[in-house]
Protein backbone atom coordinates (compact mmCIF):
# COMPACT_ATOMS: atom_id res chain seq x y z
CA UNK A 1 0.00 0.00 0.00
CA UNK A 2 2.78 2.43 0.87
CA UNK A 3 4.56 1.74 -2.41
CA UNK A 4 1.30 2.27 -4.31
CA UNK A 5 0.99 5.62 -2.57
CA UNK A 6 4.53 6.54 -3.64
CA UNK A 7 3.78 5.47 -7.21
CA UNK A 8 0.65 7.62 -7.32
CA UNK A 9 2.69 10.54 -6.06
CA UNK A 10 5.14 10.05 -8.95
CA UNK A 11 7.98 8.37 -7.05
CA UNK A 12 9.48 5.22 -8.50
CA UNK A 13 10.64 2.33 -6.36
CA UNK A 14 14.29 3.16 -7.07
CA UNK A 15 13.76 6.83 -6.20
CA UNK A 16 12.04 5.78 -2.98
CA UNK A 17 14.95 3.45 -2.19
CA UNK A 18 17.47 6.23 -2.81
CA UNK A 19 15.53 8.61 -0.58
CA UNK A 20 15.25 5.99 2.13
CA UNK A 21 18.99 5.32 1.97
CA UNK A 22 19.77 9.04 2.13
CA UNK A 23 17.45 9.47 5.11
CA UNK A 24 18.93 6.49 6.93
CA UNK A 25 22.46 7.73 6.25
CA UNK A 26 21.64 11.19 7.55
CA UNK A 27 20.05 9.73 10.67
CA UNK A 28 23.05 7.48 11.20
CA UNK A 29 25.39 10.47 11.08
CA UNK A 30 23.21 12.43 13.51
CA UNK A 31 22.99 9.45 15.84
CA UNK A 32 26.75 8.92 15.80
CA UNK A 33 27.40 12.61 16.39
CA UNK A 34 24.84 12.89 19.18
CA UNK A 35 26.65 10.36 21.36
CA UNK A 36 23.56 9.45 23.38
CA UNK A 37 21.25 6.43 23.13
CA UNK A 38 18.02 8.32 22.46
CA UNK A 39 15.80 7.48 19.51
CA UNK A 40 15.81 9.74 16.47
CA UNK A 41 12.40 10.28 14.91
CA UNK A 42 11.89 11.86 11.50
CA UNK A 43 8.49 12.48 9.95
CA UNK A 44 7.34 13.54 6.51
CA UNK A 45 6.01 17.11 6.22
CA UNK A 46 2.41 15.90 6.51
CA UNK A 47 3.32 13.54 9.38
CA UNK A 48 1.96 10.41 7.71
CA UNK A 49 5.36 8.72 7.27
CA UNK A 50 7.53 8.28 10.36
CA UNK A 51 11.08 6.90 10.49
CA UNK A 52 12.65 5.92 13.82
CA UNK A 53 16.32 5.17 14.35
CA UNK A 54 17.43 3.81 17.70
CA UNK A 55 20.72 2.67 19.11
CA UNK A 56 21.03 -0.35 21.37
CA UNK A 57 24.18 -1.51 23.09
CA UNK A 58 24.88 -3.91 20.23
CA UNK A 59 23.71 -2.18 17.03
CA UNK A 60 21.42 0.28 15.27
CA UNK A 61 17.73 -0.44 14.67
CA UNK A 62 15.09 1.32 12.60
CA UNK A 63 11.38 1.20 11.89
CA UNK A 64 9.01 2.91 9.46
CA UNK A 65 5.31 3.66 9.91
CA UNK A 66 2.71 5.02 7.50
CA UNK A 67 -0.40 6.62 8.97
CA UNK A 68 0.64 5.27 12.40
CA UNK A 69 0.69 1.67 11.12
CA UNK A 70 4.00 -0.24 10.94
CA UNK A 71 5.33 -0.69 7.41
CA UNK A 72 8.73 -1.95 8.54
CA UNK A 73 8.83 -3.26 12.08
CA UNK A 74 11.90 -2.70 14.25
CA UNK A 75 14.80 -4.19 12.32
CA UNK A 76 18.56 -4.20 12.64
CA UNK A 77 20.31 -1.67 10.42
CA UNK A 78 23.50 -2.99 8.87
CA UNK A 79 26.14 -1.02 7.03
CA UNK A 80 28.82 -3.31 5.62
CA UNK A 81 31.92 -1.95 3.90
CA UNK A 82 34.74 -4.24 2.78
CA UNK A 83 33.15 -7.12 4.71
CA UNK A 84 33.19 -5.11 7.95
CA UNK A 85 29.93 -4.28 9.74
CA UNK A 86 30.14 -0.60 10.67
CA UNK A 87 26.82 -0.58 12.53
CA UNK A 88 27.87 -2.91 15.36
CA UNK A 89 29.07 -1.58 18.66
CA UNK A 90 28.12 2.04 17.95
Contact 37, 50 (CB under 8 A): no
Contact 6, 16 (CB under 8 A): yes
Write out the residue range of the structural domain in which residue 59 sits: 2-85
When divided into structural domains, the chain yields a total of 1
**Domain for residue 30, yes or no?**
yes
Contact 71, 3 (CB under 8 A): no
Contact 64, 50 (CB under 8 A): yes
Confidence (pLDDT) at 36 = 54
pLDDT tens per residue across all 90 residues of the chain? 444 444 555 555 455 565 665 555 655 555 555 555 589 999 999 999 999 999 888 888 999 999 999 999 999 888 888 988 877 766
**Domain for residue 90, yes or no?**
no
Tell me the whole-structure pTM to 2 decimals.
0.55
Confidence (pLDDT) at 58 = 80
Amino acid sequence: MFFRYCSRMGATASAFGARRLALASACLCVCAAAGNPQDINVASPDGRVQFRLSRTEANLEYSVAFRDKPVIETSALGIIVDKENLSRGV
